[in-house]
Amino acid sequence: MPAASELLAAARKAREHAYAPYSNFAVGAALATKAGDVVTGANVENASYPVGMCAERTALFSAVARGHRDFDAIAIVGPEGVALTPCGACRQALSEFGDMRVVREGCDDVALRDLLPDAFGPRHLARTGI
């Protein structure tokens, strides 16, 4: 598992590719898989504002599309000086794949399940037979 500092460095590198001309709020994310891979993402905005996507979900969807489903940790960096924490939609999207460590700048690591307690997930659908 990469050290928190390595994962943050990967997220900082990914942030260089953020496309954020509307908010000017560049975000980078780096997702560490249990197999030892690191998949990164950046936020990608759109002139049709709601169509834009957060860095965390860009990294997650990219990782899943490459066959990864088991994750150890995600590191997230926003603009310098901003203590960033993932938005609710990203917490939900990440929690689909179970718990993981969330690494942020300037604060202690936290478990995703503590950022999104009692999350709705696949187990709820299973109970309905879906």
Mind telling me the catalytic residues? 56
84, 105 Cβ separation under 8 angstroms: yes
Q: How far apart are CA 114 and CA 68, in angstroms?
A: 23
Binding of residue 8 to ligand THU (CB under 6 A): no
Residue 34 CB, shortest distance to ligand THU, in Å, is 23
Pairing outcome for strands 101-104 and 110-111: antiparallel
Provide the 10 A C-beta neighbour count for residue 78. Answer: 20
First to last CA, the chain: 34
**Residues between 46 and 105 with contacts to ligand THU, criterion CB under 6 A:** 52, 54-56, 76, 84, 86-87, 90
Among 43, 68, 73, 97, binds ligand THU (CB under 6 A): 43
Q: In what order do the strands lie in the sheet with 28-33?
A: 38-42, 28-33, 71-77, 101-104, 110-111
**Residues between 23 and 42 with contacts to ligand THU, criterion CB under 6 A:** 23, 25, 27
Residue 128 CB, shortest distance to ligand THU, in Å, is 31
Residue 43 CB, shortest distance to ligand THU, in Å, is 3
Number of residues that bind ligand THU (CB under 6 A): 15
Residues that bind ligand THU (CB under 6 A): 20, 23, 25, 27, 43, 45, 52, 54-56, 76, 84, 86-87, 90
